Structure 1
Amino acid sequence: MTVVVTGAAGFLGWHLRCALRAAGVTDVRTVDRAQWSSPAELDAATRGATTVYHLAGANRAEPDELRDANSSLAATLTASLDRTVPTPPTVVFANSIQAGNGTPFGDGKSAASSHLADWGRSRGARIVDARLPNLFGEHGRPRYNSVVATFCDQLARGEEPTIHEDRELPLLHVQDAVDRLVSAADDGSTTDPRFDVEPTSVSAVLGTLREFSGRYATGDIPDVGDHFRLALFNTYRSFTFPHAFPILPVLHADDRGRLFEFARSGGQGQSFASTTAPGRVRGEHWHRRKVERFLVLAGTAEIRLRRLFDEEVVTFRVDGDTPAIVDMPTMWAHSLTNVGDGELVTLFWASPLLDPEDPDTFREPVDHHQVA
């Protein structure tokens, strides 16, 4: 299977690539902004495609440009597919619930949808028209992707968000959205996918995020047993990393030794410990939804993390003499290495109980050059 993702560098595109990697899809070709102006580069990406996720689009531009850009991208894509793919692929189009609402953006999305539908009928291609609602999630752009990203960014930087207009705010976590896109591409259905949103409001979201900010600043884990709260919490904590770590817990000492809290959680969780021999490495994997916390009790370790599809590695050197908490963000590969001379003792906490059938753990080296 050869998969093409347009708009791969965007918010939705990055999360889709994470979901495809978790599903074990290895042949994923990406189309970013520069390739649209080069027919040769675009054709190289689309040649032999079996599934195309068309996520690229314009949502910030002058009205005429905004109206024309989305339909133009769809036409450029289908022209490339006509040149490079004898058997038409399944095309999943990231449409919007705003399509056809009379705005330049909505008109442009509607025109793109109509073009893809006409092309699909003429070529016998399956077109999946996915009308996406308001999306939020990890690593969104403040003041661009959603009000959730803006609130998270402000709270993580110690600012006080302001609500200019409280209103209903139906939301969908971007990871749930891409899971639905992938299943829609694979299931062969002739019915366009539907998305179940979380009915909430601007003020309710901000209230929850304020709760998370207040508790997480001291290392507490809020109640994340609810699917929507877990999605919001993972979104919030993506804005705190790496500047908020490590967290230094308050030490209480007397002649018996030292005592400190590792994790206080309002929800379900699992704690475990490990020993690691000198020079050995644990981890080298990532999670989509799991909240995971490390604390070295004895020895010296390097905790290394890399966001998927990036090259920069964040490194924390921690030891048992100064207990320090480091949390693993979702969709960041991470590892724990014993860099000391003696045994390393580490305490771990994870938000869900381990499910061997669905462990939410995907192998990935932290060093980018080792990625296949």
Structure 2
Amino acid sequence: MTVAITGGFGFLGWHTACRLRALHQEEPVRLGREDFADAGTLGAKLADVDRIIHIAGLNRAASDEAVEQGNIVPAEALATAVDALGRPVDVVFANSVQADIDNAYGRGKARAAELLGNAVRFAGGHFADLLLPNLFGEHGRPGYNSFVATFVHEVLAGRTPTVSGDRNLPLLHAQDAAAALIAALGSDVRHVVKAEEIGIGEVLALLQEFHECYSTRGEVPDLSTPMRGNLFNTYRAAAFPDMWPIVSEVHADRRGDLFETVRTHGGTSMSFISTTLPGQKRGEHYHLRKVERFFVVKGEAEIALRRLLTDEVVRFRLSGSTPGFVDMPTMWVHNITNVGESDLVTLFWSDQLLEPANPDQYPEQVELNASLG
């Protein structure tokens, strides 16, 4: 069965597509604004689709009317397309907890749910209406997707955002939202997706803690809770690739050189060392949650990374003559290649112990046109 994601190139759409690829080996049909330009285009894209996750909408705009219509119009177009298909299609709607509140965004979301639900049920399909709380995660847009993205942007710039009206609110990582949307496919439900309550000021304090710890020497902060880990990965994604690589301070004496590779503040972690022959490559995978560091101890290496579902490749050269390291952002495919003439010695560190049954490691090549083998 084929899944389509409306808003598939946006923040939550990208996270959902990443999760479908990693855990379900599914390549969804990702629909953007241009696919809603006319009924014929949308209908053609949905011709072979059996399930739809509807995320497309508008969070902010110049006027309340634009926000309200920005959520109703895509839902109307999708409802019309479902009707035109003439067969059952299952739809999951990424709604908002504000749908029960009388504001522009809430009214738009509520009307979108009504339009879509009627069309899907009339066609004989299942309709799941999931009310999502405040979302955050890797590659959110400052000033649009989340206050967390805005805070991260400001903290990285060395500024301190102002917190007005500090209060607790439910906060959900985009991967957890994506998991709920995928799990609801084929069901008839309407419910609020549960999230952890956390204070706005507490979020800012955590991001400032991470920045102080991580931005100069790459020290890994306390990641002892899922919220800390998710916020740290959000911060790391925004810091990448500008802060890399980091060159370690070398302490030399008559015995040789000593340098730190990883300094952590709490939590469970593991490290290991590999040797790689000239011309050989390691990696070619990505992670959804794991914090991972590649530290080149000896030899010459190229580290290549590509953000999942995009084409551009970021490259770093590291040398054992100037020991340094690069951290792998979540949902970035990565590898390390020995580009020298002698053995490459690399130390790898992860914040998680390896669980063979659930390794959080998904194979994919960095180079899209690379041959297998």
TM-score (norm 2): 0.95
Query: Aligned-residue CA RMSD in angstroms?
Result: 1.5
Q: Following the alignment from structure 1 to structure 2, what is the Cα–Cα distance between the partners of residues 156 and 177?
A: 26
Distance 1:246 1:27, change over 3 A: closer
The Cα offsets for residues 112-162 of structure 1, whole Å up to 9 and x where unpaired, read as 111122223322211110111000001111111111111111112222222
Residue aligned with 2:345, SS? strand
Structure-2 residue corresponding to 1:120: 120
2-structure distance, mates of 1:25, 1:69: 32
> C-alpha offsets along residues 175-220 of structure 1, whole Å, 9 cap, x if unaligned?
11101111111xx443335422111111111111111111112211
Instruction: Give the partner amino acid of 2:43.
Output: D
Structure 2 gap segments, 5+ residues each: none
User: Do 1:290 and 1:351's aligned partners in 2 also have CA atoms closer than 8 Å?
Assistant: yes
Q: Which residue in the other structure is 2:70 paired with?
A: 69
In structure 1, C-alpha distance between the alignment counterparts of 2:144 and 2:121, rounded to whole Å:
35
Mapped pair 1:197 → 2:191: no
Q: What is the one-letter code of the residue matched to 1:237? A: R
Q: Which deviations, in whole Å up to 9, do the C-alpha atoms of 1:195-252 show, x marking residues without a partner?
A: 2211111111111111111111221111212111110110111111101111112111
Q: Distance in 2 between matches of 1:201 and 1:49?
A: 41
Q: Cα distance, 1:371 vs. partner?
A: 9.5
Q: Cα distance 1:232–1:8, how it changes in 2: closer, same or farther (>3 A)?
A: same
Mapping for residues 1-372 of structure 1, pairs under 5 Å? 1-61=1-61, 62-84=63-85, 86-185=86-185, 188-217=186-215, 218-265=217-264, 266-370=266-370
Kept after mapping to 1: 8 A contact 2:126/2:187: no
Contact 2:134 2:171 survives alignment (8 Å): yes
Q: Report Cα offsets for 1:284-338 as digits up to 9, x if no partner.
A: 1000000000011111000000101111111000010100110000000000000
How far apart are 1:370 and its partner, in Å?
Answer: 4.3
Q: Secondary structure at the match of 1:317?
A: strand
Structure 2: which amino acid aligns with 1:222? P
Structure 1, unpaired ranges of 5+: none
Q: How far off is 1:167 after superposition?
A: 1.8
Is the Cα contact below 8 Å between 2:83 and 2:119 reproduced in 1?
no
**Between the two proteins, what is the percent identity of the paired residues?**
47
> What is the deviation of 1:71?
2.0
Distance (whole Å) between structure 2 residues aligned to residue 140 and residue 341 of structure 1: 41
Which one is further off, 57-66 or 283-292?
A: 57-66
Q: Amino acid of the residue matched to residue 262 of structure 2?
A: A
Q: Distance in 2 between matches of 1:24 and 1:280?
A: 30
Structure 2 counterpart SS, 1:169: strand
State TM-score, norm by structure 1.
0.96
Q: Secondary structure at the match of 1:207?
A: helix
Aligned length: 369
